[in-house]
A and B are shown apart, each in its own frame.
Chain A
Amino acid sequence: MNQFYTPTDHFSLLPALLLALFGCAILMLDFFVLPHPRQKRWLIFFALLGEFFAGLALYRQYRFLEDQSIPALRAFSDGLIIDGFSIFFNAIFVAAAVLVAIISYRYLEVEGEHHGEFYGLILLAQCGMYFLASGTELVTIFIGIELMAVTFYILVGFLRSDRRSNEAAMKYLLLGAFSSGFLAYGFSLLYAITGSTRLPKIAAELAQRPATDPLLLLAIVTTLVGLLFKVGAAPFHMWAPDAYEGAPTPVTAYLSVASKAASVAVLVRLFLGTLAPHRINWEPMLAVAVVLSLTIGNFSALSQTNLKRLLAFSSISHAGYILLGLIAGNRTGLTGICIYLFVYTFMNTGAFLVLISLRQKGMTGDDIDDLNGLIHRSPGHALLMALFLLSLGGIPPTAGFIAKYYIFLSLVETGHYALAITAALFVAVSIYYYFRIVRAMFLNEAGQLLPALPGWGARVGFAVTALATLAIGLYPEPIIRFAGTSLLR
């Protein structure tokens, strides 16, 4: 029998451990130590402290791999893996969580729902994501997904006095449970076929199975369905618009960015790693999902008037683009996925941040019409929003272009011309609805609303997101190199 909780195990678990520790600490502080509502604001610093330590632990993992020049570190008898890929994705989670924590501060104030649990739950959700990025064992991954999902059910319904928020949480919960059933079925079938829950063992077993094995096919379908649901890809996307619209805006940002990235991490690890020999089985399905996501996401976004809903549909289409990298499946595609998710974290959070910062008492700021004439009201917000939208639309020289370019490049490299053409055409469609917003901001007459006054949190958030969106677009080399280290093979 192997040794019980070795130092390696500890080292590889440390970031998650810290996140769980700080998450629980915040919950307890909230309850016992800081009962006064005014004091609860300080909890955000504990959250940021937790993120700092988690980030530090991640950095130590990164240094360790670099110093030892080993590609990966395995722990918990193949239950966890620390490699460039997991570190990259965890870095995305840290960035997303920090941004979300910062931008939540003001939002919760405005909504009058300032509760310590919020920050605690953000950290605990991230803890779940850690196991998605690093887990190499089915049960761990499944529990990680559930930890993340359950946390999000709560976060989506965090505005208890808001009926839409409650409704969104309920829908997300019900459909999430539904999809988890499929995922659990898929995982159990994989176990049934191979007799192991550990990915390396499963991969070794599966490599010897014929591609036509119906049992394996069933396992692939159900696993894929469960994960595509979490990614928000069509036709399993139905929850997304309602959940995005109803959720508190920072949670929407977190959901669309981090939750998506975490699920993509599992998809990549499973389908490009373990199930790679059976590509013939899953590639057509993924292609169908991609085309449906692009079509439904883009065309539905055209007719939306609610910004959060519009961004929800756009995030469905972004899921489509990201999955294209999975279809290409070469190193460029993988780099593309990593860059896309990284960039998406900043540009999408930035766009949501603008919405939050425009939010005032008695005004949601969620409608396109609420942005009318923003350039006159608060030019800074308008320019920032334009930047984020340009980036989401993939217009150079913003970061979004780099992300899309890599995805397209990988498709061209692997000869998927039809998909590349389809995706390029949908870029043109997507620019149309992003520019409806730009038009409202720049060319429509100003409404009666007051100029927005960003707080310190929003200022920091803007600085980080805008800088990243521009800098990666102009000089993507460092992040490409960083993403390069994340490659699985």
Chain B
Amino acid sequence: MLDTIFFYVFALLTIGGAIATITRRSAMHSALSLIVSLLGVAGLYLLQKAEFLFAVQIVLYIGGIMVLFLFVIMLVNLDQAAKERQFNRQWLLGLVASVLVGAQMVWMLNSAGVLSLPAAVPAPAATGPGNIEALADLLFREYLLPFEVASLLLLVAIVGSVMMAKKTS
């Protein structure tokens, strides 16, 4: 019961934060909303008894990356960008389409019986100190290949962002 309540609270935080992130004009507000959203996700991880992921989420994303974001936003003057209109007039159309597609998806999930599934499937009791070991096992054995390729992906992303940022010669 309590789990369910917490689930909805965290889910609301996640979705609400995400919506606020994209609708706020001010970059600062957007970043803060994103932190809320990420917090919600962290909470969901915790509910799933994934304590390690919860910790990583808090420490890395919120503690590290987002704080860096905030620094950048404060250092760089983004007022100019903030004043520009970020949205065109199609938002209503977009909203209708999104709701429509979302409704279809929900309807399908519902008819699959997923939505009415009791949330009371107890997560397996954690063995040992959290589930770091299991996670490591998965990451470095079963999913070794994607794990390594992901590093390549990050490298490319860094190269790309550096390239984009570099002033034209």
Contacts and interface: CB of A to CB of B under 8 A. Distances in A.
Contact of A1 (B114, B141, B149, B153): B141
Contacts of B155: 24, 124
A249 B42 CA distance: 44
Contact of B156 (A5, A151, A157): A151
A121 B145 contact: no
Given A131-B149, A139-B146, A215-B114, A154 B141 contact: no
A77 interface: yes
Contacts of A302: none
Contacts of A154: 156, 159-160, 163-164
A336 B111 CA distance: 38
Contacts of A76: 144-145
B9 interface: no
Contact of A143 (B137, B149, B160): B149
A27 B145 contact: no
B90 interface: no
A215 B108 contact: yes
Nearest to A138: B146
A140 B108 CA distance: 28
Interface in B101-136: 105, 108-109, 111-112, 114
B157 interface: yes
A94 to B, nearest CB: 18
Given A160-B168, A213-B112, A215-B112, A13 B145 contact: yes
Interface string B39-73: 00000000000000000000000000000000000
Nearest to A144: B149
A143 B146 contact: yes
B8 interface: no
Contacts of B112: 213-215, 218
A214 B145 contact: no
A177 to B, nearest CB: 12
A472 interface: no
Contact of A153 (B105, B144, B160): B160
A259 to B, nearest CB: 15
B12 interface: no
B152 interface: yes
Contacts of A32: none
A121 B143 CA distance: 25
Contact of B108 (A1, A128, A161, A214): A214
Nearest to B155: A24
A83 interface: no
B150 interface: yes
A147 interface: yes
Interface string A199-220: 0000000000000011101100
Taking residues whose C-beta sits less than 8 angstroms from the other chain, chain A's interface range is 35 or more
Nearest to A217: B108
A1 B144 CA distance: 13
B35 to A, nearest CB: 20
B142 A77 contact: yes
Contacts of B153: 128, 143, 146-147, 150
A79 interface: yes
Interface residues of B, number: 26
A127 interface: yes
Nearest to A145: B153
A377 to B, nearest CB: 33
Nearest to A2: B141
Contacts of A131: 149
Contacts of B145: 13, 76, 79-80, 137, 140
A215 B152 contact: no
Contacts of B105: 218
Nearest to B153: A147
Contacts of A128: 149, 152-153
A284 to B, nearest CB: 16
B144 A214 contact: no
A20 interface: yes
Given A160-B168, A218-B109, A121 B146 contact: no
A51 interface: no
A287 B142 CA distance: 37
Interface in A416-465: none
B11 to A, nearest CB: 16
B111 A214 contact: yes
A4 B149 contact: no
A149 B159 CA distance: 14
Contacts of B166: 160
B146 A140 contact: yes
Interface string A50-68: 0000000000000000000
A144 B112 CA distance: 30
A117 B169 CA distance: 14
Given A147-B153, A161-B168, A213-B112, A137 B160 contact: no
Contacts of A77: 142
A451 B112 CA distance: 65
Contacts of A27: 159
Nearest to A75: B145
A213 B166 CA distance: 51
Contacts of B141: 1-2, 4
A187 to B, nearest CB: 12
B164 A5 contact: no
B109 A215 contact: yes
12 contacts: A76-B145, A117-B163, A120-B159, A143-B150, A150-B157, A154-B156, A157-B164, A160-B163, A161-B168, A213-B112, A215-B112, A218-B108
Given A20-B152, A131-B149, 5 more contacts: A24-B155, A146-B153, A150-B156, A214-B108, A218-B109
4 smallest CB-CB distances across A and B, nearest first, come from: A215-B112, A154-B160, A139-B146, A214-B112
